Amino acid sequence: MATQRFEGPLEKVDPYCWRIPKSYKPGMHVDGLIYANDALIERIRDDLAPEQVANVAFLPGIQYASLAMPDIHWGYGFCIGGVCATDPDDEGVISPGGVGYDINCGVRLVRSDLSRNDVQPQIGRLIEALFRNVPTGVGRGGKYRFDHEDLRGLMSQGPSALVDRGLASQRDIEFTEARGLLEHARPEFVSERALDRGYDQCGSLGSGNHFLEVQYVDEIFDNEAAAAMGLGKDMVCVMIHSGSRGLGYQVCDDSLRSLRGVPEKYGIELPDQQLACAPIHSDEGTHYLGAMRAAANFAWCNRQLLMWQAREVFEDVFARDWQSLGMQLVYDVAHNIAKYEEHEVDGVKKHVWVHRKGATRAFPPYHPELPETYQPYGQPVLIPGDMGRASWVLAGQAASMLKTFGSCCHGAGRMLSRRAAVRAAKGRRIDQELEEQGIVARARSWRGLAEEQPAAYKDVNEVVDVVAGAGIAKKVARLRPLGVIKG
């Protein structure tokens, strides 16, 4: 993370939005807009992420504004929490930096019929069993093996390919964003190296901020929306955060290498080489989009298999099958992805490529892409917090389409770099500190917990207050952690 302070202009638009005017830098096509309140904006100034918001505004074909959510922090190319839409019919480009290395990193929430009182006495045993049976850690694979041909099938079909293997249900597919499938994926554009890395990693958490957390519903804010999502007070849920693992990382790495010199080829001037991009209709743009879609479909398979393994562990611990435990998928949302969507820009409906980098989709009530169950309430928006505080379930609202291309924050957002968090944890036992709060935490290393300690993150409650105040999404339920496994 950058440690320099942003000294550029930040003009207050309203209590929840700040503008970087396009006059800030010659070459900006649009303003930058950052969603934050007075307290958060002061912390945001202490990072150069706003500079990245301004830099994104240089991308050809960008529409309306370069946007950032309240969980904004420094990233590769785009800030984490960055959103932009580009119009392919207006010289629009696609930029891997606007998707990220972990293509289709995302969050999945599973509800259950178990209560906090049912699970609390078993939480130590349950977390140990999850830690033993769900693969975690850098480069670590799991029990599922897919050769190159099978991987291409997963990348073409998404988790629907797992139904016949008995590892997914049709309902699981229905309650996954985009039904777990970006069409027009091109697995043949994915390198052999990427396929080798994906061989045993589908169904594994990975490391960093990825996790599987057992939670309970602490408070309900919208009874009707919560009931539609199957959520109730004190109900135990499982939240899963992971992405496309080494396969997706390799796809991004390969793409960035192939895009060197491409902006210059098309006469595109950029303030940061990490914003490497290609016109959407170019051969280079088509190649990246085909490979990105394939990696995104793999990521949905990964979260499906992680959920399946969690269900199996619950079955063993509670001696009932997952169906009778009521362990149904509430929803699965991506937050590192680019998608071709219809939006209204300056009163005109057009199809644009929406880059969401550390930002999640938040479609409003009656959007045609939502499952019928959620039509009256809006899309479930899943916002994980840190290990010690809370996570949130929100519902997308109409203002998201007007303000943010149907997008919302994706988490709390880092406040300390991983290195700074490790320094701050020196001489401490983060697992014991969490245990004193009644939270069981397991990880592959002391460093893994130190990097992800609660103090490394903004308070997710503040972040959620901003998007709720801006009308982008409304609060449905708050969830508190009981136990967590990390890489």
Pull the structure tokens for residue 246: 């080494």
What's the Cα-to-Cα distance from 365 to each of 304, 354, 376, 399, 403, rounded to whole Å? 25, 19, 5, 11, 16
Report helix, strand or coil for 448: helix
What is the separation of C-alpha 415 from the centre of its chain, rounded to a whole number of angstroms?
17
Residue 230 has pLDDT above 70, yes or no: yes
Residue of 447, 284, 303, 467 lying closest to 392 (CA atoms):
467
Check residue 141 and give its pLDDT.
78
**Quick one: average pLDDT of 275-301?**
98
Looking at residues 288-298, what average pLDDT do you find?
Answer: 98
Q: Answer yes or no: pTM beyond 0.95.
A: yes
Q: Tell me how far apart the alpha carbons of residues 121 and 113 are, in angstroms, rounded to a whole number.
A: 16
| DSSP 8-state class, residue 457 | B
Torsion, Cα of 130, 452, 117, 331 (10° steps): -70
Q: Beta strand pairing status for 380-383 and 391-396?
A: antiparallel
CA pair distance 85, 87, nearest whole angstrom: 7
Length of the chain: 487
Tokens of 78: 């785009």
Of the listed 241, 335, 343, 410, which one is catalytic?
410
> According to the model, what pLDDT value does residue 446 have?
87
pLDDT at residue 1 greater than cutoff 50? no
| DSSP code of residue 115 | B
Strands 473-486, 440-442: pairing is parallel
Question: 410 an active-site residue?
Answer: yes
pLDDT, averaged across the chain: 96
Please give the average per-residue pLDDT across 181-186, as a whole number. 98
Q: Which two tokens stand for residue 16?
A: 């929840």
The predicted-structure confidence for 40-68, as pLDDT tens digits, reads as follows 999 999 999 999 999 999 999 999 999 99
Indicate if the pLDDT at residue 3 is higher than 80: no
Cα distances from 93 to residues 33, 80, 99, 261, 474, in angstroms, run 20, 19, 13, 14, 32
One-character DSSP codes across 120-170: GGGHHHHHHHHHHHS--STT---S----HHHHHHHHHHGGGGGTTTTS--H
pLDDT at 89 over 80: yes
| pLDDT category of residue 445 using cuts at 50, 70 and 90 | confident
Close Cβ partners of 392 (under 8 Å, ≥ 6 residues apart) = 382, 383, 385, 460, 464, 475, 476, 477, 478, 479
Q: How many CB atoms lie within 10 A of CB 290?
A: 18
Q: Which fold has domain 11-89+103-486?
A: tRNA-splicing ligase RtcB (3.90.1860)
pLDDT tens for residues 231-241? 999 999 999 99
Position 44, amino acid = I
User: Per residue in 252-264, pLDDT tens?
Assistant: 999 999 999 999 9
